[in-house]
Chain A
Amino acid sequence: NAGVMQNPRHLVRRRGQEARLRCSPMKGHSHVYWYRQLPEEGLKFMVYLQKENIIDESGMPKERFSAEFPKEGPSILRIQQVVRGDSAAYFCASSSRDGSSYEQYFGPGTRLTVT
């Protein structure tokens, strides 16, 4: 049973370009979470999505960042007009159900470097 898949694993973008990060949850999981880890810092929640719905986006920057989880296909975290401060590791996690007792399983992350 494959775990959470993220691609690309490494992404280099120039300032002003767009970055698209993809996350395929574990089989049977319909809840997806995105977290960001800046260099030498802890993990910070960004957004929580269920199929076709954003449930909690309290950690998303107000501008340039968006996320979706369509009915078919992976979840996408999109960063428009990237800046150097967006350089970080972006982790996706998935869970099978709502409710605090259901653990989240993380993918290997996408390391974004903005030059």
Chain B
Amino acid sequence: DAKTTQPPSMDCAEGRAANLPCNHSTISGNEYVYWYRQIHSQGPQYIIHGLKNNETNEMASLIITEDRKSSTLILPHATLRDTAVYYCIVRGIIQGAQKLVFGQGTRLTINP
């Protein structure tokens, strides 16, 4: 699986959009970009994933660059409950290669 690079920490004001970057310059054509978050020792929570098109769901938007070497997770109106560690994970579709490889993630703090 491709390696990802994320800033170790970020701050965002409550009510503003939080934009979390992720670099995955070695991503290959059959690898998806996944985002998970972990709120203080809870189980990781799936947020969103994509292959090459931008994606949006009720939680967030995922913007993937045209060359797929980087992506941005957008939380449109951050709340205090969005404070968490956010993980960007690149994962292939090879049969049997199903594990998620978690890096250090970005610790996002939402400030009142």
The interface of chain A, by Cβ under 8 A from chain B, is 4, 31, 33, 35, 42-45, 48, 55-56, 58-59, 89, 91, 93, 95, 98-101, 103-109
Contact = CB atoms under 8 A, between A and B. Distances in A.
19 contacts: A4-B43, A31-B98, A42-B102, A42-B104, A42-B105, A43-B102, A48-B98, A56-B96, A58-B99, A59-B99, A89-B41, A91-B43, A98-B98, A100-B31, A100-B91, A100-B92, A103-B34, A107-B43, A108-B43
A100 B32 contact: yes
Interface of B: 30-32, 34, 38, 41-46, 49, 51, 91-105
B43 A106 contact: yes
Q: What does DSSP make chain B's interface, helix, strand, loop or mixed?
A: loop
Nearest to B49: A103
A98 B102 contact: no
A100 B44 CA distance: 17
